Chain A
Amino acid sequence: MTISKKQNGTELEIALEGRLDTTTAPQLEGELKHSIDGVTDLIMDFSKLEYISSAGLRVLLAAQKVMNRQGSMVIRGVNETVMEVFEITGFVDILTIE
Chain B
Amino acid sequence: MAKKRKFNLQPKLLIGLVLMAIVLMFSLISILIIIFCGVMYQYYSWVTFDNASVCSYVIDGDRIERYYNNGKIGEKDDYYEMIGDYLLEVKNQVGLQYLYVAVPEQDNIVYVWDAGAPDEDGIHKLGESIQMFGEIKDVMQTAYAGGADMLDSVLFTESSAVAFVPLLNSDNKPVALIAVSIPIERVSRHVETFTVLALISTIVVMLISSFFYYLYIRKILVRPLRNLHHAVTGLVSDNMEHLDSFDLKIKTRDEVGDLANGFNQMVKELNEYINNLSRVTAEKERIGAELDVATHIQKSMLPCTFPAFPDRKEIDIYATMTPAKEVGGDFYDFFMVDDRHLAIVMADVSGKGVPAALFMVIGKTLIKDHTVPGYDLGAVFTEVNDLLCESNSEGLFITAFEGVLDLVTGEFNYVNAGHEMPFICRSGENFAPYKIKAGFVLAGMEGMRYRAGSLTLAPGDKVFQYTDGVTEATNSDNELYGMERLENVLNLNKDSAPAELLPKVKEDIDAFVGEAPQFDDITMLCLEYKSRMEDNNE
Residues on A close to B: CB < 8 A? Answer: 21-22, 51, 53-55, 57-58, 61-62, 65, 87-91, 93-94
B444 interface hit (Cβ, 8 Å): yes
A residues in contact with B421, CB < 8 Å: 88
Give the residue of A54, A88, A94 whose beta carbon is less than 8 angstroms from that of B445: A94
B residues in contact with A87, CB < 8 Å: 438
A residues in contact with B352, CB < 8 Å: 22
CA distance A84 to B195 in the complex (A): 106
Q: With A88-B418, A88-B419 known to touch, is A94 a contact of B444 (CB < 8 Å)? A: yes
B residues in contact with A65, CB < 8 Å: 395, 445
A residues in contact with B441, CB < 8 Å: 57, 61, 89-91
A residues in contact with B395, CB < 8 Å: 58, 61-62, 65
A53 and B438 within 8 A (CB): no
A90 and B351 within 8 A (CB): no
CA distance A94 to B421 in the complex (A): 20
Pull 17 A–B residue pairs with CB atoms less than 8 Å apart, ordered by A. Answer: A21-B519, A22-B352, A53-B468, A54-B350, A54-B397, A57-B441, A58-B396, A58-B397, A62-B395, A87-B438, A88-B419, A88-B420, A89-B418, A90-B417, A90-B438, A91-B440, A94-B444
B residues in contact with A91, CB < 8 Å: 418, 440-441
**Hey, what's the 0/1 contact readout for B56-93 against A, CB within 8 Å counting as 1?**
00000000000000000000000000000000000000
Minimum CB–CB distance from B350 to chain A (whole Å) comes to 4
B363 interface hit (Cβ, 8 Å): no
Interface residues of B in 437-480 (CB under 8 A from A): 438-441, 444-445, 468, 472, 480
A residues in contact with B351, CB < 8 Å: 54-55, 58
**A interface, over-half SS:** helix
CA distance A91 to B421 in the complex (A): 15
A residues in contact with B418, CB < 8 Å: 88-91
Nearest B residue to A21 via CB reads B519
B residues in contact with A89, CB < 8 Å: 399, 418-419, 438, 440-441
Interface residues of B in 258-304 (CB under 8 A from A): none
B residues in contact with A62, CB < 8 Å: 395
A55 and B350 within 8 A (CB): yes
CA distance A51 to B519 in the complex (A): 15
Interface contact tally, CB-CB below 8 A: 59
CA distance A7 to B437 in the complex (A): 37
Nearest A residue to B442 via CB reads A90
A21, A53, A90 interface centre (most CB from chain B within 10 Å): A90
A22 and B519 within 8 A (CB): yes
CA distance A84 to B399 in the complex (A): 15
Give the residue of A57, A93, A94 whose beta carbon is less than 8 angstroms from that of B350: A57
A88 and B438 within 8 A (CB): yes
Give the residue of A21, A54, A61, A94 whose beta carbon is less than 8 angstroms from that of B348: A54
Interface residues of B in 349-402 (CB under 8 A from A): 350-352, 395-397, 399
A54, A55, A57, A88 interface centre (most CB from chain B within 10 Å): A54
CA distance A53 to B395 in the complex (A): 15
CA distance A65 to B396 in the complex (A): 13
Minimum CB–CB distance from B455 to chain A (whole Å) comes to 18
CA distance A19 to B338 in the complex (A): 45
CA distance A87 to B433 in the complex (A): 15
Interface residues of B in 502-530 (CB under 8 A from A): 519-520
List 13 additional contacts besides A94-B440, A94-B444; criterion CB under 8 Å.
A22-B520, A54-B350, A54-B468, A58-B351, A61-B444, A61-B445, A65-B395, A65-B445, A88-B419, A89-B419, A90-B440, A90-B444, A93-B439
Interface residues of B in 328-343 (CB under 8 A from A): none
A residues in contact with B420, CB < 8 Å: 88
The 4 closest A-B pairs by CB, nearest first: A89-B418, A90-B440, A54-B350, A90-B418
CA distance A65 to B441 in the complex (A): 14
Minimum CB–CB distance from B255 to chain A (whole Å) comes to 49
A residues in contact with B396, CB < 8 Å: 58
Minimum CB–CB distance from A50 to chain B (whole Å) comes to 10
B439 and A90 within 8 A (CB): yes
Minimum CB–CB distance from B156 to chain A (whole Å) comes to 95
A residues in contact with B348, CB < 8 Å: 54
Minimum CB–CB distance from B242 to chain A (whole Å) comes to 44
CA distance A93 to B445 in the complex (A): 11
B residues in contact with A58, CB < 8 Å: 350-351, 395-397
CA distance A22 to B353 in the complex (A): 12
A residues in contact with B480, CB < 8 Å: 51
